[in-house]
Structure formats: structure tokens, C-alpha cells
Structure 1
Amino acid sequence: MKHLTSQDEQMARQMIGLLDLTSLNAKGNEQRIIEICQRAVTPVGLVAAVCVYPNAVQLARRTLNKLHGETVRVAAVVNHPYCKADIETAVTDTRIGLVWGADEIELMYPHRQLLTGDRQNGKDMVSACRSACGDRAVLKVVLDTGHLKDPQLIRKACEDIIAAGADFIDTHSDKAIIGASSQAARIILEVIAEIGGQGGLKVTAGMRTFEEARVYLELARSRFGPHWVNANHVRFGGASLRDDLLMGLGVLAPGG
């Protein structure tokens, strides 16, 4: 990307602090976990979180602490990648992540059940994981909206997820074939607005550039105002976005 204008630099720096970096390609691959943690500490500040499997949480936390990234959150991703309807396993994996020190739980919502007309399974899963988290961890729920083509179905799922106690709704998983859409983000923000802004939006999949991410940041700003846009309410997923932002800020060479 081209070097950012001075007006955009501030927004790009803000985006760095809203990033979640994910490493879910290989369970137990310690080097990959270490590398994603290294990428979390950038020349212009820290990202918001590193997302890993529950059994990698301890390594991620230890690595970040050594890198002086103590304030980077560690999220344990559960029910990934198949979005199963198995509530017991989702809760067990949530508890494993918490035992190892997870600050956040990122739960894959069972959207296939929703497509069959079953809203209860998803509500029960979110509620059970919320109970397991208690006050110890933020609960982010990945809806994978690309599979739910009906806007009303997306809305109903968002209403269920928020009512069951989620702190964030994520538009997609990191494996999504269909990328993020502004329509899905608007629906999520509308549902959050209906409960007074007490929730968060995460946008994942298909975002690789500053210009693409700007669309979603501005959606959140226009709905709630600039002061609402922080890591407690807005997250972006994508390692490619991180690199594009750093290149735009002139602290990373192409391919670096």
C-alpha cells in the first residue's frame, strides 16, 4: 500500500490496537505460537489479542510476557473449526483455556443448527460458556455470517447471542470462504445499539488493507461515536491487515 496521509496515520495506529492475530493451523506447533506472539508486538504498539487453541494459551501468555506484551490478551478458541452442536465439549474446552490463563474465550457458534431451524442449541451453548467464563474472561462468539444469507436469520442469531451473555459477535471465522460484509456488520451493530451499546463487534475474513478495514471502523463510529471505538468494543482479525497497516505507517517493508 501507499504511505498513509497524516490524517489516516492516526486511524491506522488505532487499528493496530484493535487487531486480533490468530494461530490455529497446527495444534501443538510451538514455533507458530511464538511467531504470532512476536508479531503481536509491533513498532507502533501492541495488538489487542492473540487467538490460539486452549492447549496453547499458556505458551502464548509466557511468550508475550517475555516480549513485554503483557497487556496483549490471550483468547482460547473453542469449537473450532467445525462449529459442532456439542455443548459439553465447548464448555470443557472453555474451562481448559481458563485454567491456562485465557483472558478471552472465542466460541464458534453452531450455525448449522440454526440453518435447520434450531435456535435453542446456539443459545444454550453461548449461555453455558458464559457461565463457565463468569467474570474471568470476555466471551466472543463467532457467528460465521457468510453461511446465513438471510439478514433476518443473522439478526435473530445476534439477538440470541447477546441475550445469552456474549460480549462480542464476530462476523466470520478465520477459515471463512466468504469474506466479511458491511451488511452483517451493520446488523450486529444494530442489535448492540438496541441494548445500549453494551457489546462488541469483531470483523474477520477478507480484510487485508487499511481501506477495507476503514469501512467497518467508520460504521462503528457513525453508530456510536469515536469514543466507543476501542478494543473493548471493536476488533479486527487478519495478519495481512497488520502488515498493510505497518507498511502504510512506514515501519515495515513489503515482504517484511
Structure 2
Amino acid sequence: MPDFDPKAIAKRALPLVDLTNLNDDCTAKDVAILCDRAVTAHGNVAAICIWPRFVADARPLLAGSGVKIATVVNFPHGGEKTLEVVDETAKAVADGADEIDLVMAYGAFKAGRPGFAEEQIRRVRKAAGEAKLKVILETGEIGDPLLIHAASQLAVDAGADFIKTSTGKVAVNATPEAAEIMLTVIEENRRHGRIDVGFKPAGGIRTIADAGAYLAIADKILGANWVCAQTFRFGASGLLDALVAALDGTAAQLGEGY
């Protein structure tokens, strides 16, 4: 791979990371550690992504850092209790969440009820107010490329600020194939004069090579100047260590970090 430059990729990717802890056993102490990791000697990540119950705890820990607080709703299974999801969203925003990562009701969508999935997104969009809304399609569960394309467009039409591949909680999470479809939908909407929607691959992105692959797909479809924290995020828990190691010049000792 002659153009593979780990340090250049790391420098580009670090400010795009949504540093994530959605472990079932996550504690307030773990969130404090996550907040500390989010601020590095090489710059800060874009956001942390945590369970809603920790949003209020994280707010003072990140004050003044510029790091956003993202949280998840309807997570991880994309259920159909819309009123509960709307309430969950409103509480998260009141607690200080800057960004809401909503799992689309992908089961309803796959079962031939796209209108239900779309209406749920619209209602969460309204409840989120000024918070950024990322809609998780769960592409590995949708499977069919045509349905991934349709789900992406549905989320855009319903008011998503970002479309996101996955929860990281299923067998198949982010894949280059799903990324290409989703980024193509974003490009199609741009061509028709619609406001930019962002893209977030998540689940299984751990190495600099992984990050470089997704950045290359985005560059190919949308141009080298499109990617920034306003339009592209990596949802990851382990990627940051590889990026920092490359920027520190110690990545050669971390073979798997490439």
C-alpha cells in the first residue's frame, strides 16, 4: 500500500472520533476516564458517546474542552415504543447532550413498515431540538444493498443530520460496502441541492488501516475536502489508542494498530 501514511491518517482521523463507551457494565468512573482520554496532546476528539444516564455527569468534566456529548436512544435494538424514545431524547437533551444517536426502528422497516420508522425519526428530531441527530440504520441487520440505500434516504428525509452504520452490538457492523452505499446517498442529495448530511461508520473500527479505508471511500465519493467533524465521525472505543500511538511515533510497536 504505497500511499499508506499512518501518521497522516491519524492526524486526520483523531478530531473525527466519537470516543465511545456503551459497555453494559459502564460506570461513572469509566465515563470520567473516557472524558479524560478525549482530550489528548495531539488535539481533542469530536465527541464522547455514552449511555444517557451519564450525560449529566460528563457535562462538567468536558466544560470548555469543545468535546461534544453524544448519547444513544432506542438503543441497541431499535424498538417501537416511540413515546418512550421521545421522552428519553428530551431528557438527554435537558441533561446536556449535544448529539443524539437514534437507532432506527429497523425491524419495522425490514417488515415493510417504513412509514413507522420515518415517523419515529421525525418525532425524535423534533424532541432533539438543537441537538445533532445521528440515525443508526443497523446496516448489518438490514443486509440488502437496495434496502440500505432506501433506509439511508428515509433517514435523510426524516431530518437526520448524520446517517450511521451500526450500534456495534450485532454480528455485522460497519463495512466498506455499506459505507459506499450510504455515502452515495449523501452525494445524491448534495447533487440535488440538499443540505449536507454527515456519515458515521461505527462498530469494529480499531486500526489506522480501518480508518484510512473509510476516509478513502468518503474522499472518492464526496471529494477530499468534504470530510470534517461536521460531516464525518468514527464511532469507536479502541481506535483512539492506535491514532495517538501513530502521532507519538510509537505505532511501529503496535502492529495491530495499523
TM-score (norm 1): 0.90
CA contact (8 A) 1:20 1:49 kept: yes
CA contact (8 A) 2:6 2:246 kept: no
Verify: 1:95 aligned to 2:90, yes or no. yes
- Displacement of 1:35 in angstroms is 1.1
Partner in structure 1 of residue 175 of structure 2? 181
- Displacement of 1:26 in angstroms is 4.0
CA contact (8 A) 1:28 1:55 kept: no
Residues 174-229 of structure 1 deviation map (CA, whole Å, 9 limit, x = unaligned): 22321311111111111111211610110011211111111110111122222210
**Count of residues in Structure 1 that have an aligned counterpart in Structure 2:** 247
Letter of the 1:119 counterpart: P
Partner in structure 2 of residue 106 of structure 1? 101
Distance 1:238 1:209, change over 3 A: same
Verify: 1:85 aligned to 2:80, yes or no. yes
Unaligned ranges ≥5, structure 1: none
Residues 123-159 of structure 1 deviation map (CA, whole Å, 9 limit, x = unaligned): 011100111123x110001111001111111111111
CA contact (8 A) 2:9 2:208 kept: no
Most deviating of 155-164 and 8-17? 8-17
Verify: 1:156 aligned to 2:154, yes or no. no
- Displacement of 1:10 in angstroms is 2.8
Letter of the 2:171 counterpart: I
Distance 1:146 1:28, change over 3 A: closer
Equivalent-residue separation in structure 2 for 1:115 and 1:224 (angstroms): 28
CA RMSD of aligned residues (A): 2.0
Residue number among 160, 172, 177 corresponding to 2:166 in the alignment: 172
Verify: 1:127 aligned to 2:122, yes or no. yes
Partner in structure 2 of residue 226 of structure 1? 224
- Displacement of 1:234 in angstroms is 0.6
Residue number among 51, 55, 58 corresponding to 2:56 in the alignment: 58
Residue number among 65, 71, 74 corresponding to 2:69 in the alignment: 74
Residues 87-141 of structure 1 deviation map (CA, whole Å, 9 limit, x = unaligned): 111111110111011111110111111221111121011100111123x110001
Equivalent-residue separation in structure 1 for 2:159 and 2:36 (angstroms): 32
Equivalent-residue separation in structure 1 for 2:37 and 2:209 (angstroms): 21
CA contact (8 A) 1:154 1:184 kept: yes
Unaligned ranges ≥5, structure 2: none
- Displacement of 1:6 in angstroms is 9.9
TM-score (norm 2): 0.90
Distance 1:166 1:223, change over 3 A: same
Equivalent-residue separation in structure 1 for 2:143 and 2:4 (angstroms): 39
Letter of the 2:18 counterpart: D
Q: Secondary structure at the match of 1:191?
A: helix
Q: Secondary structure at the match of 1:231?
A: coil
Equivalent-residue separation in structure 2 for 1:85 and 1:27 (angstroms): 25
